[in-house]
Structures are given as structure tokens and as C-alpha cells.
Amino acid sequence: MQIVVDSSVLVAALNESDSQHERGVAEIHAASKPIVVPEYIVAETCAVLIQKANKRLADSFVREMGSNRDFRILFSTPEFFIATAQSFLSSRVKLSFLDCALLVLSRTFDVRTFDKALAKAIRDGGAQQASA
């Protein structure tokens, strides 16, 4: 099964001052390639890197996403947006829109995250979702 990474893993791997840096690097190195990075995750990772590190690191990340064959960007589609919106609207727990996108992707990908709430929702198979 292909692996999708959350921004928590990418930020940790890229930001040497992150408390989870070693864990993030290990996760990236151990993952089967290519690692799938949803477009939404690229945007969030850049925002967090600018906030917690610097623009130079965010720029380097974007360049790497465009040139490194170990990563494949997964671009959004209208269908994926609708499925994510439905997941978000039916969620009974506090998950961000982006977390709901990863929850949707967890149906077909192995999602790697350091976010405990998201990891629990994925383990529970989206059990916190209200019935539609």
C-alpha cells in the first residue's frame, strides 16, 4: 500500500529544531517510495515551516517536492474535495478540514502522521463520523 505523509511528519523531518526531528527523518527513510504528498499537505507544510523555521526551508521543501522522485504530489480533484467536505461536516470530533482529507485518503493509502487525534480517527476507521 502506498504511503501518504502528513505535514507533522514532513515538518519534523525537515526542521532540525523540531522535537520529533529524528522520528520524522526515520519515518521518511523507512517509507516505501514514492511517498505520496497531497497538494493540501504541501500547502500546510509550507505554512508551518515558515512559522516554525523560515521561508528558506519552505522554499527548499517546495523545490524538493517538484524534483525528488521519492515523492509524488497528489493533486486535488472536485470529487476528493466533496468527499473531504462530507467527512468534515459529519465529523463528531475536532478534526481540521485537512485531517478529514487524510482520513478520506486513509481508505486507500497508509497515512503516516504524528497527530494523535488523526491517528486515532484513522485507527477507528472514521468511526467518529456521523452516519450520512
CATH code, domain with 27: 3.40.50.1010
pLDDT bucket at 92, cuts 50 / 70 / 90: confident
Contact in structure between 31 and 11 (CB atoms under 8 Å): no
Q: Is residue 63 part of a domain?
A: yes
* pLDDT of 32 higher than 60: yes
Q: Computed from CA positions of residues 55, 76, 84, 21, in that sequence, does the dihedral angle turn out positive or negative? A: negative
Q: Around Cβ 64, how many Cβ atoms within 10 Å?
A: 13
Q: Is residue 106 part of a domain?
A: yes
pLDDT bucket at 132, cuts 50 / 70 / 90: very low
pLDDT bucket at 126, cuts 50 / 70 / 90: low
Using CA atoms, how far apart are residues 38 and 66, in angstroms rounded to an integer? 13
Taking CA 105 as the corner, what is the angle to CA 18 and CA 61, rounded to the nearest 5 degrees? 35
Q: Is residue 117 part of a domain?
A: yes
Residue 107's φ and ψ, nearest 5 degrees, are: -70, -25
Domain count of the chain?
A: 1
* pLDDT of 69 higher than 90: yes
